[in-house]
Amino acid sequence: MTLRAIKTRKDHKMALARIDALMAAEAGTPEAAELEALAIRVERYEQGAFPIDPPIRDGA
């Protein structure tokens, strides 16, 4: 497992493909550890690249 930061849309796309390939990993395996680490990095990238604005409160 090579850990790299996800910095571009291309990195993101590759990471999502790898996550898809690892989805059937059994708990306690190196593949499951890679899946967990990759999911954390994808989440972090997505929070910065695709921020979600808080809901607009109408009249409150």
DSSP assignment string, the chain: -------SHHHHHHHHHHHHHHTTPPTTSHHHHHHHHHHHHHHHHHHHHS--PPPPPS--
Please compute the mean of the pLDDT values over residues 12-26 and round it to a whole number: 97
Structure tokens of 29? Answer: 């395996």
Residue 1 has pLDDT above 70, yes or no: no
| C-alpha closest to that of 4 among 38, 35, 32 | 38
Name the pTM for this structure.
0.81
**In the chain, domain spans:** 9-49
Tell me the per-residue pLDDT of 33-53, one tens digit each, with 9 for 90 and over: 999 999 999 999 999 999 999
